[in-house]
Structure 1
Amino acid sequence: MERHTLVHQGRERRWIEIPGDANTLLLVLHGSLQSGNVMRNFTDRTFEGLGPTVVYPDGVKHHFNDLRTGFNEDARRLRIDDVGFLTTLVQRYNADAVIGCGFSNGGQMIMRLLFDAPGLLTGAATFGASMPTPDNTLISTQRYQPTRLLSVQGTEDPLVPYHGGMAGIGGNNRGETRSATGSAEFFAGLNGCDGHVTSTSGTLRVDDWTGKHPMRLVSLEGAGHMVPVDKDLDPRLGHNPKTPTGGELIQQFFFA
């Protein structure tokens, strides 16, 4: 493990690096109130050992300035340029392929990169994050470039409703979000997908929109708000199915 810093907007920004294949970079963004190191432990290092170099950046005051108008944290109030910071970080590695992966607020930040830094990512994966509704979206879709996408959501997520609605907990809302399927269909349309197949296995449902730039939605029946890993998590997040793990889902979609 290596720790790195750079200065952006006059602020020191930090990240953790797990060295691997220099030609492929896996950018892993944490959720609200987390950090890069917390994300690494929260996910039980599920994204390590897949081959790529893995980097875990820290947000400012434990958040990234994502694409939702309903997002109200210091990262937004301070006008933190996370698009610029993450672009600079990624470009330092000069990798041939860059997979962006984010959980919750980090997943929303990955989506912002797809619109505000088109072409930076060659693939993207989100866990516990769906596309917000148009009235809760800061960005324009005009610059989007078709990108291979994976979305993983629990059907009983207590913070990001699988069927759409108000995201957040208690009074700390994040605005309206699309349903998991509606979000996947939105990106499948942007990707120019021309087919749709569904498969089920136990409590796992996989929807694949096919084409040159495929979109996959993995629905975890009964699962909550998390990256599935083979360990016990805070029960307040909901049920953790433990298998398949987040790393296995990434491996199957991007590296199989």
Structure 2
Amino acid sequence: MERRSLEHQGRTRTWIVVEGDPGTLLLVLHGSRQSGNVMRNFTDRTFEGLGPTVAYPDGVEHHFNDLRTGFNESARRLRIDDVGFLRRVIEHHNPDRVIGCGFSNGGQMIMRLLFDAPGLLDGAATFGASMPVESNTCVSVENYAPTPLVAVQGTADPLVPYEGGMAGIGGDNRGETRSAYASAEFFARLNSCAGRESSTSGALRIDDFTGRFPVRLITIDGFGHMVPVAKQLDARLGPGTDEITGGEVIRRFFFDGRTR
């Protein structure tokens, strides 16, 4: 593990790197009130050992300036250019392939990259983050470039409602979001997916929208607001699961089937 930094917008921006295959970069973005190092421990290092080099960037004051107009943290008020920062992190590593992965606020930032930096990512993965409704976004759909995407959401998420509605941390409103399924359908339409296949296994339901740029929604019944890992986390985030880990999600979607 190494810590790296660069200057951007007059600030020293930092990230943690766990070296792997330099040809593929897995960019892992933390959630609200976290950091790259917290994310690494929060996810039980589930994204390491898959093969790629893994980078854990740090947001400004523990947040990324994501795509929601309802987002009102300092990263938004300070007009932090996280799109530019993350582009520079990727350029620093100069990989052939980039997979962007984010949890909660980090997942919303991954979605912002899909619209404000189209083509930067070769694949995207979100955990506990559904696409906001149109009135709660600050990006243009016209800028989007089709990108394979896998999304994981739990039906017992206390912060991002699985069926859609107002999202937030306690009274800290984040605006209205689509349901998990409507979010997957939204990206499937943008990716021109032609069909849908569904399967269930235990607490998992998998909806695959098929095509050149596939979209997968993994629903975990009774699961809360976290990345699935094989350890107990804060009960305030909701129930955990032993059905799957975040690393397995990435491996199965992006490496076993070699999406793109």
Q: TM-score range by the shorter chain?
A: over 0.9
- Equivalent residues in 2 for 1:63-82, closer than 5 Å: 63-82=63-82
Q: Distance in 2 between matches of 1:173 and 1:62?
A: 17
Residue equivalent to 1:234: 234
Counterpart of 2:216?
216
DSSP 3-state at the match of 2:23? strand
Q: In structure 2, the residue corresponding to 1:84 is in which secondary structure? A: helix
Asked whether the equivalents of residues 18 and 54 of structure 2 are also in contact (C-alpha less than 8 Å), the reply is yes
Equivalence map 1:166-205=2 (5 Å): 166-205=166-205
Cα deviation 1:35-82 (Å, max 9, x = unaligned): 000000000000000000000000000000000000000000000000
> Whole-Å Cα distance in 1 between the matches of residues 255 and 182 of structure 2?
26
How high is the TM-score relative to the length of structure 2? 0.98
Report the counterpart of residue 53 of structure 2 in structure 1: 53
| Partner secondary structure for residue 146 of structure 1 | coil
After TM superposition, list the pairs within 5 Å mapping 1:31-180 onto structure 2. Answer: 31-180=31-180
Q: CA RMSD in A?
A: 0.5
Q: 1:229·1:243 contact (CA, 8 Å) conserved in 2?
A: no
SS of the residue corresponding to residue 102 of structure 1 reads strand
For the residues of structure 2 that align with 1:180 and 1:242, how far apart are their CA atoms? Answer: 21
Q: Secondary structure at the match of 1:40?
A: helix
Q: Percent identity?
A: 72
In the alignment, structure 1 segments of 5+ residues that lack a partner are none
AA matched with 2:213: H
User: Quick one: distance in 1 between partners of 2:171 and 2:226?
Assistant: 21
Say if 2:202 and 2:243, in contact at 8 Å, map to a contact too. Answer: no
Residue 143 of structure 1 and its aligned partner are, at CA, apart by 1.1
Offset, 1:242: 2.7
1:24–1:98: 8 Å Cα contact kept in structure 2? yes
What TM-score results when the alignment is normalised by the length of structure 1? 0.99
Deviating more after overlay: 56-65 vs 240-249: 240-249
CA–CA distance in structure 2, aligned partners of residues 163 and 58 of structure 1? 30
Distance in 1 separating the partners of 2:15 and 2:5 = 6
Opposite residue 16 of structure 1, the aligned amino acid is I
CA contact (8 A) 1:159 1:169 kept: yes
Q: Paired residues, what number?
A: 256
For structure 2, list consecutive stretches of 5 or more residues without a partner in the other structure.
none
Deviation at 1:139? 0.3
Show structure 1 runs of 4+ deviating over 4 A: none
Q: Distance in 1 between matches of 2:120 and 2:94?
A: 11
SS at match of 1:69: coil
Give the Å deviation of 1:243. Answer: 2.8
Which amino acid in 1 is paired with 2:123? G
Deviations 1:6-35 (A, max 9, x none): 000000000000000010000000000000
Q: Distance in 1 between matches of 2:211 and 2:91?
A: 28
